[in-house]
Structure 1
Amino acid sequence: MPAYILTGTPGSGKTAVLRQLEIDGYAVVEEAATDVIALQQALGRPEPWQEPGFVDRVLDLQRSRQHATGQPHGVVFFDRSPVCTLALCRYLDLPAPRHLLDEIERLVAERWYERTVFFVRHLGFIQTTAARRISFADSLAFERIHELTYRDVGFDLLDVPAAPVPVRAATIRKRVGCAASRRTG
């Protein structure tokens, strides 16, 4: 199963691109951190990313979603990965839990994800939400940390520049088509 990661800074439009890919018939896996934040906020915790155990909850949900995908036929796109969780630790200046580093090592060793990661670039602005309270300047710093983290781990980044959602999705579909023909050819 070719499993591709979509990543980028918060508010870059990853989820909109993921929705387009889903409508185009691809399997998709939702981002874990946003769902963990939403649940914790619904439980009365306004800034769950500041609480101990946040990284663990995100990683647990990411693992659960990986296992739920099993080995589907065809391409699957993941909105973020445990490498993004490591980038979040670096951004928040938190020590990365050993089990997070072990999970990333396992995923790389098993080649669970394709080596090419689709890096969805910022749109030039950010809209805050209950879960996304980051300034545009801070989102650019976070984007850079994501880039460096993925490269440190050994992934190749393919830029998906700011553009209308259908154009961004077409960029990804084209690259996936090229990768699939290289594998079979």
Structure 2
Amino acid sequence: MQRYVLTGTPGSGKTSILQCLEEIGCHTVNEAATTVIAQAQALGESEPWSRASFIDDIVALQRRRQLETSGTIQVFDRSPVCTHALTTYLGWPVSAALSDELERVTSERIYEQQVLFVRNLGFVQPTAARRISFQDSLTFEKIHEESYRLFGYDLVDIPAGDLAHRVAQVRSVIGT
């Protein structure tokens, strides 16, 4: 089983790439943080990222999705290493749940060594879950790079460009 991580700054086009991969039959897993935010906002919580349990909610959903996903080749929109980057960006300490999950995914080599790093498009389109400026997204992108390198992953750049070309680049790495 091969599990690839697709990562990058908010608004870089990860979801669009993932949707294209799904259309051609790849097993894909959506970003957990977006789901956690959407569920909390549906219950009336406008900024769930401001509460301490936010990170642990993401970690729990990431783990559950990783354990439940089947298929020979799987592509994940983010991983616990991204959650580490988010924690760093927010200036919060790494929680016990995140630390344990990082240890598990590292020691068990859950994800492939090569991480597909989708580069920014030069802008960020705000959404209900994405309220980051373009300048802040560049800082967040750098923190993601640092986190993945810290945990020993190799970054495969997926530069800005048209969607078809980016999908082809990802497919060349994952072998579909």
Normalising by the smaller structure, the TM-score range is: over 0.9
Deviation, 1:20, is: 0.5
Whichever residue aligns with residue 60 of structure 1, its letter is A
Deviation, 1:99, is: 2.2
**3-state SS of the aligned residue for 2:93?**
coil
Post-superposition CA distance 1:97-155 (Å, at most 9, x none): 02211211111111111000000000000100010000000000000000000000110
Aligned to 1:166: 164
Count, aligned residues: 176
Aligned to 2:84: 86
User: What is the alpha-carbon distance in structure 2 between the residues aligned to residue 73 and residue 55 of structure 1?
Assistant: 27
**3-state SS of the aligned residue for 2:146?**
helix
User: What is the alpha-carbon distance in structure 2 between the residues aligned to residue 157 and residue 3 of structure 1?
Assistant: 14
User: What is the alpha-carbon distance in structure 2 between the residues aligned to residue 11 and residue 160 of structure 1?
Assistant: 14
Aligned to 1:9: 9
Deviation, 1:73, is: 3.7
Aligned residue among 118, 121, 132 for 1:120: 118
**3-state SS of the aligned residue for 1:158?**
strand
User: What is the alpha-carbon distance in structure 1 between the residues aligned to residue 132 and residue 122 of structure 2?
Assistant: 14
Deviation, 1:32, is: 0.3
Aligned to 1:46: 46
Whichever residue aligns with residue 108 of structure 1, its letter is T
Aligned to 2:135: 137
**3-state SS of the aligned residue for 1:7?**
strand
Post-superposition CA distance 1:19-38 (Å, at most 9, x none): 01111110001100000001
User: What is the alpha-carbon distance in structure 1 between the residues aligned to residue 80 and residue 103 of structure 2?
Assistant: 10
Aligned to 1:183: none
Whichever residue aligns with residue 107 of structure 2, its letter is A
2:105 maps to 1:107: yes
User: What is the alpha-carbon distance in structure 2 between the residues aligned to residue 136 and residue 12 of structure 1?
Assistant: 10
Gaps of 5+ in 2: none
- Alignment root-mean-square deviation, CA: 1.0
Q: Share of identical aligned residues, percent?
A: 55
User: What is the alpha-carbon distance in structure 1 between the residues aligned to residue 91 and residue 16 of structure 2?
Assistant: 29
Gaps of 5+ in 1: 181-185
Deviation, 1:52, is: 2.0
Kindly report structure 1 stretches of 4+ aligned residues shifted beyond 2 Å.
Answer: none
Map 1:47-62 → 2, pairs under 5 A: 47-62=47-62
User: What is the alpha-carbon distance in structure 2 between the residues aligned to residue 38 and residue 119 of structure 1?
Assistant: 24
**3-state SS of the aligned residue for 1:61?**
helix
**3-state SS of the aligned residue for 2:28?**
strand
Post-superposition CA distance 1:45-80 (Å, at most 9, x none): 1110001200011111111101111xx342110000
Whichever residue aligns with residue 132 of structure 2, its letter is I
